[in-house]
Amino acid sequence: MSLRIEDLPQADLFGPGNASCRGCGAAIAGRQAMKALGSRTIVTIPASCMATLSGSNQKTAWQVPFYHTLFEIAPAVSSGIRAGLEAQGIKEVQVVSWAGDAGSADIGFQSLSGAAERNEDMIHVCYDNEMYMNTGGQMGSQTPLYAATSNTTLGKPTKKKNMLAIMEAHGIGYVASASIAYPLDLISKVRKAAAREGFSYIHILAPCYRGWNIPGDQTVEFARRAVECGLWELFEVEDGKRTRNYEPSFISVADYLLPQGRFKHITKEQVDSVQESVNRHYGRGRSEG
């Protein structure tokens, strides 16, 4: 039943020719997700790195219809797209809004919440690099506690807003977290969302090596460590039923945090408090079921 790499389509519907930095987590997420979505997909992407790297002038990195929207509106535009397709009786099209953490959790949150509440037949993907990279790396609600950004150089004083819990509270049919370091898990989740009717929300951890201040070839590695230390839990909530999809090995959070330049200023006490919050969340050894 579980998906294998060799079962995936060879064709890349997003990728070739895109203008991302080498080692861009967002572009990796896009490539993986398109393996599940297929060619009958209409993608809307609000202002973000992903929108910018997707095409300029007469070039595009998408093999499917792609629309670079205003910053706040991708879920609302996608709602209109679905309504327009239904009005014409056009079926079997995946309607996807694909936004960064600002386009999902901050400026884009109103239209995201609206579309979720209406249970629009679409998928919203938040690719989360935990900061505003397209404008140079400022903090946002998805920036974790203590992380330095271009406008919180001493570290962010407040916690990351829990978008997965917020989206789950909308009562939608499918909510899932994913990480670009676990492509098969990610792709199966997008597939699941695509097979369902109604609104699905997938939140993908997609590191940005520039913002995180790590080497460019370590994007996937840090997407893995985030999961293995327990800070980024891989789970899904399907029709209200919560499943943890992966048991982390519980490397220490220090192994995740300390090598990242954005946590350069973090104190030992702060690392300990993060470790404690992970321990508390997992009840270490106790399965949440």
Partner 1 sequence: MSTTLLTGSEAAALGAKLAKIEVLAYYPITPAFPAMERLNKFIEDGELRARFVRVECDHSALAAALGASLVGCRTFTVTNSQGLLYMTEVAYHVAGLRQPIVMAVANRALSAPHSRFPEQGDAISQGASGWIQLFCENNQEVLDNTLQAFKIAEKCHLPVMVNYEGYIQSHTLEEVTIPEQEQVDPFLPLVRRATLDVENPQAVNTVASPEFYQDYKYRQNEGMDLALQVIDQVAAEYAQGFGRNWSGLIETYRMDEAEQAIVAMGSMISEARVVVDALREQGKKVGLVKVRAWRPFPFQKLRDILEGVSLVTVLDKNIVFGLGGALATEVKSALYGFNETRINSYVLGLGGRDTRAEELTQVLNLSESMTEPQNTFEWFGM
Ligand X SMILES: Cc1ncc(C[n+]2csc(CCOP(=O)(O)OP(=O)(O)O)c2C)c(N)n1
> What residue type is assigned to position 154 of the chain?
L
Residue 203 binding result from partner 1, ligand X, none, given CB thresholds of 5 to 8 Å by partner type: none
The C-alpha atoms of residue 49 and residue 65 are separated, in whole angstroms, by: 18
Q: Are 120 and 108 in contact (CB under 8 A)?
A: no
The distance of closest approach from Cβ of residue 271 to ligand X in the complex, given in angstroms and rounded to an integer, is 25
Q: Is 90 in the site for partner 1 (CB under 8 A)?
A: yes
Residue 62 binding result from ligand X, partner 1, none, given CB thresholds of 5 to 8 Å by partner type: partner 1
Write phi, then psi, for 188 (nearest 5 degrees): -65, -35
Give the binding-site size for partner 1 (rule: CB under 8 A). Answer: 46
Q: Is 49 in the site for ligand X (CB under 6 A)?
A: yes
The SS3 of residue 180 is: coil
Q: Are 214 and 175 in contact (CB under 8 A)?
A: no
The SS3 of residue 62 is: strand
Q: Is 256 in the site for partner 1 (CB under 8 A)?
A: no
C-alpha Rg value of the chain to the nearest Å? 18
Task: Identify which of 259, 220, 24 has the alpha carbon closest to the alpha carbon of residue 134.
Answer: 24
The SS3 of residue 119 is: coil
> How buried is 197 (Cβ within 10 angstroms: 0-12 exposed, 13-18 middle, 19+ buried)?
exposed
Q: Is 125 in the site for ligand X (CB under 6 A)?
A: no
Bridge-based pairing of strands 55-56 and 59-60 is: antiparallel
Residue 7 binding result from partner 1, ligand X, none, given CB thresholds of 5 to 8 Å by partner type: none
Write phi, then psi, for 166 (nearest 5 degrees): -65, -45
**Given candidates 103, 144, 207, 230, which one binds ligand X under the rule CB under 6 A?**
103
**Given candidates 25, 30, 75, 100, which one binds ligand X under the rule CB under 6 A?**
100
The distance of closest approach from Cβ of residue 107 to ligand X in the complex, given in angstroms and rounded to an integer, is 6
Residue 182 binding result from partner 1, ligand X, none, given CB thresholds of 5 to 8 Å by partner type: none
Residue 83 binding result from ligand X, partner 1, none, given CB thresholds of 5 to 8 Å by partner type: partner 1
Show Cβ contacts of residue 104 under 8 Å, excluding neighbours closer than 6 positions. Answer: 112, 124, 126, 128, 163, 203
Question: Of 80-88, 98-106, 233-241, 254-262, which part binds partner 1 (CB under 8 A)?
Answer: 80-88
Q: Which is nearer to ligand X, 119 or 213 (CB)?
A: 213
Q: Are 105 and 126 in contact (CB under 8 A)?
A: yes
**Given candidates 18, 41, 142, 275, which one binds partner 1 under the rule CB under 8 A?**
41
Place of tokens 């998928």: 123
Q: Is 86 in the site for partner 1 (CB under 8 A)?
A: yes
Q: Are 144 and 107 in contact (CB under 8 A)?
A: no
**Given candidates 3, 8, 67, 221, which one binds partner 1 under the rule CB under 8 A?**
67
Binding-site string for ligand X from residue 53 to residue 72, where x marks contact by CB under 6 A and - marks none: ------------------x-
Residue 47 binding result from partner 1, ligand X, none, given CB thresholds of 5 to 8 Å by partner type: ligand X
The distance of closest approach from Cβ of residue 99 to ligand X in the complex, given in angstroms and rounded to an integer, is 6
Q: Is 18 in the site for partner 1 (CB under 8 A)?
A: no
Q: Write out the residues near partner 1 by the rule CB under 8 A.
A: 39-42, 44, 51-52, 54-60, 62-70, 72-73, 76-88, 90, 93, 110-111, 113-114, 117-118
